[in-house]
Amino acid sequence: MRPAVKQIAIIGMGLIGGSLGLAIKAAQGSNIEIVGIDTNKLALTIAKQCGAADLITTDYKTGVENADIVFLCTPVLQIAAHISEIAFHVKKGAILTDTGSTKTYLMEKIAAVLPREVHYIPGHPMAGREKSGIEAAECTLFRDKWYIVIPDAKVDSRAMETLCQVISWTGARITQMNAAQHDRCTALISHMPHIGAAALVTLLQYSEDQETSIKLAGGGFRDTTRIASSNADMWADICMTNTEPIADSLDKFSQIISDVAEKIRQKDRNSIHAFFANAKARRDALLRLEQQFSE
C-alpha cells in the first residue's frame, strides 16, 4: 500500500540527515521523494549521487513547501537560528520534527515561531558516530537503535502515528519521554562521555612525554577517546543548550575524580579496590540490563 506520506524534506544532509535519507529510500524506494536541503552545495551533490535525496536545493522555501514531513538535521544552534525562516514555509497539516541532541532549549525556540497548523514532534535518534558529513552517512545507522520522540499532551495522534511509521522504516526502535528527562539522561549517557573523552586527550597536552605516551597508547586509550574525534561545532552547540544537566553531571564527576586522587595519595588500597570493584559490578549489571532492553 502506498503510504500517505509522499514527500519528505531533510534540512542538513550530513551524517544524520544523509543517513535518514538513505534509510528511507532503502525501505520505500520511489514511494517516497526526498528533498535534501543544505547550505553546502557539495554535500547536496554527494547526497543526490549516493541516493540519499531525489531533489536537492539550498533554498528552504522551495525545499519544504510541498513536504508532508520536514526533518531538521542541522546542528542545534543552526536549527534555532533558522527555524523562523523555515517554519513559515512548511505546508498546512505537515509534520515538523528535528533530530537535535538537546531538547528543552530547541522545543522552546521552535514553539515560539510554529504556525498553528503545523504539527511539531521533537525527536532524537540515539545513534551516530564520531565522523560527520554526508560522506559518513550510512543507511543502517539507526537499525536497532533507540529513537526518542517527545510528544506533548496535545499531539495529534495521526501525526504521531505517521512520524512513528516513517521512523520505523529506518529500523530504529521508538521510545517516548519528556524533554527534561531526555536532557538529564543524555547529559549523563552521551554528553558526559564526549566531554570525558575530550578531557583525556587534552590531558596528554600537559605531559612532557607526549610523543612517547602516544607511541605506547593501546586499545584502552583508543576505546575511551574514540568520540573525542567528533565534530566540535556540534558538541559546542550541545553544551550551550543543555547547560544545567551537563554542569551538574560534571560537578559530580569532578567530585568522584577528586575523591579517587585523594585515596591514591593516601595509598588507601582498600578504597581504590572498592572503587574499581564497584564500577565493574555496576557496568556488568548495566550491560545485562541493556541486553534485556534489546531483546
Ligand X SMILES: O=C(O)C(=O)Cc1ccc(O)cc1
Ligand Y SMILES: NC(=O)C1=CN([C@@H]2O[C@H](COP(=O)(O)OP(=O)(O)OC[C@H]3O[C@@H](n4cnc5c(N)ncnc54)[C@H](O)[C@@H]3O)[C@@H](O)[C@H]2O)C=CC1
Binding site for ligand X (CB under 6 A): 101, 126, 128-130, 190, 227
> Among residues 26 and 126, whose Cβ is nearest to ligand X?
126
> Among residues 18 and 128, whose Cβ is nearest to ligand X?
128
Q: Closest approach of Cβ 122 to ligand X, in Å?
A: 13
* Rounded Cα gap, residues 34 and 1, in angstroms: 19
Q: Which residues contact 196 (CB under 8 A, 6 or more apart)?
A: 224, 253
Among 8, 16, 87, 110, binds ligand Y (CB under 6 A): 16
Tell me the one-letter amino acid at 61: K
Among 76, 163, 167, 197, binds ligand Y (CB under 6 A): 76
Under the binding rule (CB under 6 A), the answer on residue 128 touching ligand Y is yes
Query: Residue 227 binds which entry of ligand Y, ligand X, none, with Cβ cut-offs from 5 to 8 Å by kind?
Result: ligand X
> Among residues 198 and 272, whose Cβ is nearest to ligand Y?
198
Residue 288 cell numbers, joined: 545485562
Residue with cell 522552546: 108
Query: Residue 145 binds which entry of ligand Y, ligand X, none, with Cβ cut-offs from 5 to 8 Å by kind?
Result: none
Query: Residue 78 binds which entry of ligand Y, ligand X, none, with Cβ cut-offs from 5 to 8 Å by kind?
Result: ligand Y
The continuous run of DSSP H or E covering 149 comes out as: strand 146-149
Q: Closest approach of Cβ 200 to ligand X, in Å?
A: 15
Q: Closest approach of Cβ 41 to ligand Y, in Å?
A: 9
Tell me the one-letter amino acid at 38: D
Under the binding rule (CB under 6 A), the answer on residue 91 touching ligand Y is no
What's the alpha-carbon Rg for the chain, to the nearest Å? Answer: 21
Residue with cell 534540512: 11
> Among residues 126 and 199, whose Cβ is nearest to ligand X?
126
- In 3D space, the residue among 203, 246, 239 whose CA is nearest the CA of residue 221 turns out to be 203
Q: Closest approach of Cβ 124 to ligand Y, in Å?
A: 6
> Among residues 102 and 162, whose Cβ is nearest to ligand X?
102
Residue 63 cell numbers, joined: 525545499
Q: Closest approach of Cβ 31 to ligand Y, in Å?
A: 24
Q: Closest approach of Cβ 187 to ligand Y, in Å?
A: 13
Among 8, 9, 13, 163, binds ligand Y (CB under 6 A): 13
Under the binding rule (CB under 6 A), the answer on residue 141 touching ligand Y is no
Q: Closest approach of Cβ 127 to ligand Y, in Å?
A: 6
Residue 279 cell numbers, joined: 564500577
At residue 69, φ and ψ (nearest 5 deg) are -135, 140
Sheet of 123-125: strands edge to edge?
123-125, 146-149, 173-176
Q: Which residues pair with 149 in a beta bridge?
A: 123, 176
> Among residues 27 and 227, whose Cβ is nearest to ligand X?
227
Residues recorded for the chain: 295
Q: Indicate the DSSP class of residue 117.
A: T
Q: Indicate the DSSP class of residue 186.
A: H
Under the binding rule (CB under 6 A), the answer on residue 70 touching ligand Y is no
- In 3D space, the residue among 54, 44, 49 whose CA is nearest the CA of residue 12 turns out to be 44
Residues engaged in binding ligand Y (CB under 6 A): 11-17, 38-40, 43, 73-76, 78, 82, 99-101, 124-125, 128-129, 132-133, 231, 234, 238
